[in-house]
Structure 1
Amino acid sequence: MSHTSIKGQVLADLVAEFGESPLEEKAEKQNMDEKSVGTVSLQKPLSLRVYVDGAANQKGSGVGLVIISPETIIIEKSLRLGFLTTNNEAEYKALLVGMTMVKKMGGKMVKMFSDSRLVIGQVEGELEARDSRMQEYVGQVKHLQLGFESFTLLQIPRSRNTHADSLATLATSSA
């Protein structure tokens, strides 16, 4: 694991342990001529890039996530799903897990990258989600989108998503 991955994991562990956004407003009081003056320091909203991928095969299904902060801190997540899914369901699960992690980290602006043409097309309304399970996933994504100041979902070629793909494939083989 690289140094930035370790720092990212430490950051993720701290966020998970304390449950607070590291970027919340900070207020200080200063005494000036016996008057209390409050100052508020607002930091720029946390903007993250997230690469997601899902995988399903005979061994199981899993998701892979690569979260990159503006400081290029990289958080990698490989998660085995405890139930059988289709590949498309695993792709949706990866997207939903990524969105949830960004929210828990205090992210307000996110660019999500996926190589699933179907998922991107259904979420963007370019493709119809005919299956009731796919419709439910689209609804969950749309609901989570509302919690972000800025949300972008982009399709990328598989060749540009190999890191998340490897993590998803790893999750399918772990018990």
Structure 2
Amino acid sequence: MRGVPRHRHLVGHADPAQGRRARAVRELRPHPRRQLTKFLRLRTDGASRGNPGPAAAGIVIEDEEGMKLKAMHRWLGVMTNNEAEYHALIDGLKAVESWKPDTLEVCLDSKLIVEQVNGGYRVKEERLKTLNARAKELLASFPDVKVKHVAREQNKRADYLANQALDEHGKG
């Protein structure tokens, strides 16, 4: 029929642009039995105002080209910066689990946490030993994972989200 979008019956929208947007949103959701993408990048940051002090986590999940697929933040309570970094990492790994990527690149700006998770540094603090074990357990569930240290400038989105959670909690 002339004047009727050919794909209207496929997506249930009279407006083709609206149908494309709806389809695009559906395609970004992870399906529990199949992977969305073969490669994902996870950026996490923990922030603490005081050591210990009010703390929060920021998490960003990106595709290979750096396109943001998901971003979130969470108030953590009162803890040290290193504890906040571990909680951000653990929350991020849990968030990315259902996407089932073949390859996962994890980027943190905390050299200490990266080295502890990769086995380069010993975990001395008792409070961090449990968090380190949980992070390693989650990391082991991915077929190919690399945890790497990045400059703070490369982790701006996650840092912004962690600070946003701190600011929002401070207003409440």
Matched, 1:108 2:120: no
Question: Residue 55 of structure 1 aligns with which residue?
Answer: 47
Letter in 1 for 2:72: K
Question: Residue 71 of structure 2 aligns with which residue?
Answer: 76
Letter in 2 for 1:48: L
Report the secondary structure of 2:32's partner residue. coil
Report the secondary structure of 2:78's partner residue. coil
- Separation in structure 2 between the aligned mates of residue 171 and residue 135 of structure 1, nearest angstrom: 25
Shift of 1:21: 4.1
Question: Residue 65 of structure 1 aligns with which residue?
Answer: 59
Q: 1:118 aligns with which of 99, 102, 112?
A: 112
Report the secondary structure of 1:161's partner residue. helix
- Separation in structure 1 between the aligned mates of residue 130 and residue 100 of structure 2, nearest angstrom: 25
Gaps of 5+ in 2: 1-20
**Shift in alpha-carbon separation, 1:55–1:46, aligned structure 2, 3 A:** same
Question: Residue 157 of structure 2 aligns with which residue?
Answer: 163
Which one has the bigger strand percentage?
1
Q: How many residues align?
A: 145
Report the secondary structure of 1:136's partner residue. helix
- Separation in structure 1 between the aligned mates of residue 73 and residue 167 of structure 2, nearest angstrom: 11
Deviates more, 1:89-98 or 1:100-109: 100-109
Listed as ranges, the matches of 1:127-146 within 5 Å are 127-146=121-140
Q: 1:20 aligns with which of 32, 56, 65?
A: 32
TM-score computed with the length of structure 1 as normaliser: 0.72
Shift of 1:14: 4.4
Letter in 1 for 2:142: F
TM-score computed with the length of structure 2 as normaliser: 0.73
Letter in 2 for 1:92: Y
Gaps of 5+ in 1: 1-5, 25-44
Report the secondary structure of 1:102's partner residue. helix
